[in-house]
């Protein structure tokens, strides 16, 4: 199964810590979604937003076991959904991704989320918490 990631799972160390695997990754863009910081957290979530795009990675051919580990990691705050992701070569692939659960959408701030800022300010503490 393919998985589109856009937040903390972009970091190979975090992905490996959660799953024990380091899959092949290709860059991709998800249309009509927006990435926002979750209130009082250091990680983002995505929500449908017409005209917006989210850049990320597609991890290919993940096993059901790995997807189960990721489902547990993401928890109740997210729901896994199938999406179409455009790759750098302009092809599209079907992938699963985690979107904010409807009940939790009010927890999104208007702030964008940056992997670089996360790595500088929060990654060390975050790794200690997972």
Note down pLDDT in tens along the chain; length 130 residues.
999 999 999 999 999 999 999 999 999 999 999 999 999 999 999 999 999 999 999 999 999 999 999 999 999 999 999 999 999 899 999 999 999 999 999 999 999 999 999 999 999 999 999 8
Residue 47 near residue 108 (C-beta atoms within 8 A): yes
| Integer Cα distance of 117 and 115 in angstroms | 6
3-129 folds as: Hypothetical upf0131 protein ytfp (3.10.490)
Is there a contact between 37 and 26 (Cβ–Cβ < 8 Å)? Answer: no
Q: What is the pTM of this model?
A: 0.95
Spell out the domain ranges in the chain.
3-129
C-beta of residue 130 within 8 angstroms of C-beta of residue 73: yes
């Amino acid at each position: 199964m393919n998985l589109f990631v856009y937040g903390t799972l972009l970091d190979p160390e975090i992905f490996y810590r959660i799953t024990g695997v380091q899959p092949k990754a290709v860059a991709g863009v998800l249309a009509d979604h927006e990435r926002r910081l979750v209130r009082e957290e250091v990680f983002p979530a995505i929500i449908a937003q017409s005209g917006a795009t989210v850049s990320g990675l597609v991890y290919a051919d993940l096993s059901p076991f790995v997807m189960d580990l990721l489902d547990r990691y993401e928890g109740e705050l997210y729901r896994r959904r199938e999406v179409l992701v455009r790759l750098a070569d302009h092809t599209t692939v079907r992938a699963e991704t985690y979107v904010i659960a409807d009940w939790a959408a009010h927890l999104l701030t208007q702030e964008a989320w940056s992997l670089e800022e996360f790595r500088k300010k929060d990654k060390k503490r975050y790794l200690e918490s997972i």
